[in-house]
Structures are given as structure tokens and as C-alpha cells.
Structure 1
Amino acid sequence: MSSYPDTQQRIREAAFRALAEHGYADLSIKDIGNELGQNPSIIYHYYDSKDDLLLSMLDVFVEIFVGQQDEQQITDAEDELRRFVGQILHPTPAQVERAIFSPPTDIETAVSRVYVELWAHATWDDDFRKETTQAEDSLRAVIARILRAGIEDGQFRSVDAELTADHICFLIEQGLHTQATTNRDDAVERVLTIIDGIVADISLED
């Protein structure tokens, strides 16, 4: 980030780091305050509860990592699709710093843990289910948009963009889940390899 984030953004970042460390069930406002380095009471000036804060965190981070893609012009669909998938599964420090001023050291593990914790909680909480559904819809829509652009430009074969986006989206989610819940250290790389194969299969370029 180009400037130090405001208080609400720092609270959301602290919640991200604390959630990745403690998990949803054990996470408290005190934990988030400790991560923030301030009295936890400041959090209640901005958020009504832990869930209110985590929903805001998810909404903002999805907008940064996914939503802003809608504003970018697609000039090379194949390159853009690989870059976008890589941004989600294997983010570079520069990409992470757009969202988090002070990210965890192992950002890939943190992202996968936060994904699993929030999506698991959505099993029981309708507000979280609504937010995770919107997040998945946004991810799928961006991928489908890139695919349609590639088809229109003659880079990709005339495949079903929505169905192919579903396939890629499911692979991304499985990669995040596998990375967080197993000892498969190669989970992300395997998913990237599979998605590379899909991109190569639909590409019309030599």
C-alpha cells in the first residue's frame, strides 16, 4: 500500500492475521486487539461484534483481490487468466500489499486457513453463507469474463465460458481447502498445473 491504512483497515488486517492464527471458534475480540496492538475496546467503535468485523473483512478483501478485476481491460486473455488464478492461489508480495499493509509471513497458508474457517462457519450462519456465496459468484464471474474475452479475440476455443469458469473455480477452492487441511505441501502447485492444462487445452495459439 502506498500509505498507512486507516483504523478500520488496520482492524480488518488484524482480524485476518488473528483468524489465521487462532481459527474462528477460538478467536476473540481480545485476540484481534492484541494483534492490532491496541485496547480491544477500540474495535467496538467500528464494529458491533466479531462476526460484523469478519464479514466486513471478507467483503473488502474480496473486492481488492477479485472485484477490482472487473475494472481492468483484458488485452491478453490467456495471460490474464493465469495471472488472476495465480493471484488467488500464489499471491506475490506486491499483490498482497494492495490488500494488507502488514501481511503474515506465510501469506499463502494464512489465506487458505481464513478461507476454510469462514466457509466452514458459513455452514451454520446465514449471514456468512450469503457473503461466501457472493464471493464465489464474484470469482466465477471474473473467470467467465476473461474466458469470454479470449473467445471473442480468437485466443480460446468456443467453450462454455460459464461451465469452464465453474471448473476452474472449483479447482481453486479445492486447492485452498487441501492446502489448509492436509499435509499436501504441493496442493497449490498441483492445482496451478491442472488449471494450466485447461488453459492450454482451450487455447488456439501455438
Structure 2
Amino acid sequence: MIRVLVADDQELVRTGFRVILEAEGDIEVVAEASNGAEAVRLAALVEPAVVLMDIRMPELDGLAATEQILRRPDPPTVVVLTTFDQNEYVYRALRAGAAGFLLKDAPSSRLIAAVRAATTGDSLIEPTITRRLVERFSEPSTPPGVPDRLVALTDRELDVLRLMARGLSNAEIAAELVVAETTVKTHVARVLTKLDVRDRVQAVVLAYETGFVRHSGT
């Protein structure tokens, strides 16, 4: 059973997420928080596997709450809930360690997929938002070729990174490259190790920051 904490200051949003998630047989909403301070307290108390974290909340915002939660030993995975007008906050949340982000108006299937992916390290990434975030708040390098930060990657690992940046899951990458999903998982693990990043979200952010995705045509 996947244990989820929903943190959002709007009761209707929390209720909606609970209804959607608990309709699945393998997901349980174990607690709801109406502000960041409550989210930090409940994360320690109920020990969820996943925290769905809104950004703009009273008392303590979602960014500060994310930072506090992720400083704890063996923390849960944090998925940020956002709207398009919160770009800067989401970018900072990712840099603070959030494992992914999801549009609040995304279809229910995306919400469910994000929660399940967060428990496996195969975080769901909204590629259009990733692109907007990095293009607005970073300064990508412009020279052609493979950026210095990525030269340790093999050609196949670079292919996998490009597809990760498009928001594809391991299964979708496997279909695109016509290889086994286990092979993709191995490539992803090697990419993360070689780039010295915590998860695939940080790898994608790095791909945009270095300009690799942009000048590779994706």
C-alpha cells in the first residue's frame, strides 16, 4: 500500500485528491495538511511514502516545508503541485530536492501515475514545465556538441537522457529505443551515477541547464 500525505490549503482540492487516489486499490491517503507547518509535522508522524505538496500555503509555504521534510533521515518523496504562474517556486523546490511536479489541473490518471512513479524513482515529469522553468531561471550553455558535464555518458546514455527530458517513463523509453525496460533502468541508474545527481528530475534539469536538450533538437 502506498501511503500518501496531501498538503494543500484548499479543502476541496485535498478531498478531490483523496477520492481519486483511494479509488485505487494500492494507494491510501494517510493524512491531510492545510499548511506547510502541518505538513512537516504530519510527515514525521505518519511517515508517508509520498507527499503531494502545494507551494502557496499559510504559516509555512510548500518550498520551506519541502526543505524541512527532506532534511529528515529516510524522508518521503515530495511531488510538488503547481500551476503555471508558480514557475520560480517550483524551480526552487526541485533544487531543494523535490522529486517531481504535477499540474493541479492534470487528469486523474497523471496524479495516480505520479504517486506510483514517486515510489520507484521513475518520477513523472511534466516536460513543458521543465522546459519553461529552466529556460526562464537558468542560463544554458550554447556551444554545439556534448556539454562538459555530460561527456562521461555513452551515446546510448545520452539517448536515454534526451528521452527522460521529454518526460518519458522507463517503459516509454524502452519502447522508443526497442530495448527491455530493465535495460533502460540500468542506463538511467548509470546516468544518475555519472552525473552525480540524486534522481531523474535533477538529471533532466541538468540537461536543460547545460543546453544539451536544446541544441540536441528536443
TM-score for the superposition, normalised by structure 1: 0.32
Richer in helix (by share): 1
TM-score for the superposition, normalised by structure 2: 0.31
Richer in strand (by share): 2
